[in-house]
Each structure stands twice: as structure tokens, then as C-alpha cells.
């Protein structure tokens, strides 16, 4: 169910709606679509959500991983499992999930820890949860934001770049390291009315060993991870 409200809705009314959904046994997952209007405290609304129904994973007591972070790890695991680190030129990821044995998670974590990872953007719905998910696997990651000095030098050293900007990026992806893995989380609608990645796919396709396209890249995996959380929530209800 999608609940649409006018932009001038009050925080009190929104809190009452969340409370009703919390108490509705037929509802197993609640998503507070962000960003909310400026006059509403997003943290307060998310905090009011029943953690067991917070399938977006933003509540501090939510048992669920944020779907966007799970999606990025799913894609990276897919690359690891299908290639074992061997380059396959110009391959777009996600056309079909690779069959893999989940028992090799430890090997995947070791592979991840050996990589130099860079995240571009640190937003609460993108870069931040992805960084936390990677660090939970004890891998190191560097975050590039608007205040980062010499971002090109960091980009040239990165084995894995995860871009979460959502607009034409100030980072020059022509500086991408040869055979790097490029994950596009951010996207924006261009003047042509189409969705675009933070990077120009034509510019990077001969440099990146793997990259996710837009549309059709991280988005569908993100939805799958969200629905997985919803199914798990229903099982626990």
C-alpha cells in the first residue's frame, strides 16, 4: 500500500499514521520514504516506527540490514563468485545472478578486505549505511565528499568505487583505476528525461572490469533485498 500525503502534513499527524501501521497486524513492513518535508524531523518519524517492521533498516534497533547496503554487498559477492577476481572486459553485472555457495562468505570477506574501497557520498540513505555494512565485514573504506582534498588521487588507487552522489559527479571518472569495479548507487534524471548514473557508462566501460548500469543496476537488487526483509518480517510476526 502506498500512502500519499500533502507536503504540509504535520509531524503529529504523520506520527499517528505510523502508530496505526505499527498496531495493524496485517502490516509487516513500513517504509518512511525520504526525504521528508523540511518541517518534519525525519529521525523522530523513523524512531516511532516499530523496529520489527522497519524493513528499511534505519531504526537504530531494526533487525534488518538497510536494503541498499545489502544490495551492494550482493552485487560484490556476485562479482567475486563469478570471477574470483579475474577480469571479464566490459561485463555489466546483474544480467543474471551467479550461482554460488553461501559457505564461501569468509572467502568473500577476505577478498573484500584486500581491496581498496572508496565510497563517493556519505548520505544517510546511501553512502552511510553502505560504509557501515562494509566496515562490519572488517574491510576498510575511504569516503569522498565535497570537502575531500585531491579526490582524483583516491580514485586512482581504488579497486572498488561505490558512487552515491545522485547528480553529475564532481569526480572525474576518467581517473578510474584500470580494472576497477564501479558500483552506481546514485542516479539522477537528466535534461533528456532519462535516468543516468553518476558516471558516463561510455567513458568508463573500457576501464572498469565490472560496472552496474543505470537503470537496471543496483535498483532491482535493492528492491529484492527490501522484499526479502519484508518476507523475513512476516515470518517473525
| Range in 88-97, 106-115, 174-183 the model is least confident about | 88-97
Q: Report the C-alpha gap between 205 and 208 in whole angstroms.
A: 6
Nearest to 108 by CA among 131, 136, 137, 86: 137
> Rounded mean pLDDT of 147-151?
89
Average pLDDT value for residue range 182-198:
91
pLDDT score, position 66 = 94
Dist. CA 174–CA 186, nearest whole Å: 18
pLDDT in tens, 95-127: 444 444 444 678 899 999 999 999 999 998 899
- If you average pLDDT over residues 154-167, what whole number do you get? 93
CB 225 within 8 A of CB 71: yes
pLDDT of res. 84: 60
Q: What is the mean pLDDT of residues 6-11?
A: 94
Q: In the prediction, which pLDDT does 101 show?
A: 46
Q: At what angle do helices 67-83 and 218-236 cross, to 10 degrees?
A: 120
Helix (H, G, I), strand (E, B) or coil at 203: helix
- pLDDT recorded at residue 144: 93
Number of CB atoms found within 10 A of residue 188's CB: 15
- Please state the rounded mean pLDDT for residues 193-216: 90
According to the model, what pLDDT value does residue 175 have?
86
DSSP lists the bridge partners of residue 118 as 142, 161
Instruction: Return d(Cα 184, Cα 124) in angstroms, integer.
Output: 16
Give the model's pLDDT for residue 91: 47
pLDDT higher than threshold 80 for residue 94:
no
Tally of CB atoms within 10 A around 196: 19
pLDDT at 173: 84
User: Can you tell me the distance from the alpha carbon of 225 to that of 180, in angstroms, rounded to the nearest whole number?
Assistant: 25
pLDDT at 25: 95
In sequence order, what are the residues at sequence separation of 6 or more whose Cβ sits closer than 8 angstroms to the Cβ of residue 203? 173, 174
Predicted confidence (pLDDT) per residue in 22-61, tens digit: 999 999 999 999 889 999 999 999 999 999 999 999 999 9
Q: What is the pLDDT of residue 86?
A: 41
Alpha-carbon torsion (226, 229, 234, 237), positive or negative? negative
Under the banding of pLDDT at 50, 70 and 90, the label for residue 167 is confident
Amino acid at each position: 500500500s502506498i500512502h500519499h500525503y500533502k507536503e504540509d502534513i504535520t509531524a503529529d499527524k504523520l506520527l499517528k499514521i505510523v502508530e496505526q501501521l505499527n498496531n495493524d497486524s496485517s502490516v509487516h513492513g513500513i517504509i518512511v520514504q525520504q526525504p521528508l518535508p523540511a518541517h518534519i524531523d525525519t529521525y523522530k518519524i523513523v524512531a516511532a516506527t516499530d523496529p520489527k517492521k522497519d524493513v528499511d533498516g534505519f531504526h537504530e534497533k531494526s533487525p534488518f540490514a538497510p536494503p541498499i547496503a545489502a544490495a551492494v554487498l550482493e552485487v560484490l559477492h556476485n562479482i567475486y563468485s563469478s570471477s574470483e577476481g579475474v577480469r571479464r572486459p566490459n561485463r555489466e553485472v546483474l544480467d543474471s545472478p551467479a550461482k554460488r555457495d553461501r559457505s564461501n562468505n569468509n572467502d568473500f570477506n577476505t577478498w573484500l578486505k584486500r581491496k581498496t574501497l572508496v565510497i563517493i557520498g556519505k548520505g544517510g540513505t546511501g553512502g552511510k549505511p553502505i560504509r557501515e555494512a562494509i566496515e562490519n565485514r572488517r574491510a576498510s573504506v575511504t569516503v569522498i565528499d565535497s570537502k575531500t582534498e585531491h579526490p582524483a588521487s583516491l580514485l586512482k588507487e581504488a579497486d572498488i568505487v561505490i558512487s552515491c552522489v545522485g547528480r553529475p559527479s564532481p569526480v572525474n571518472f576518467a581517473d578510474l583505476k584500470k580494472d576497477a569495479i564501479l558500483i552506481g548507487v546514485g542516479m539522477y534524471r537528466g535534461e533528456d528525461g532519462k535516468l543516468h548514473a553518476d558516471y558516463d557508462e561510455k567513458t568508463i566501460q573500457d576501464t572498469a572490469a565490472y560496472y552496474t548500469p543505470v537503470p537496471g543496476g543496483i535498483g532491482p537488487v535493492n528492491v529484492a533485498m527490501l522484499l526479502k526483509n519484508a518476507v523475513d518480517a512476516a515470518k517473525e510476526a
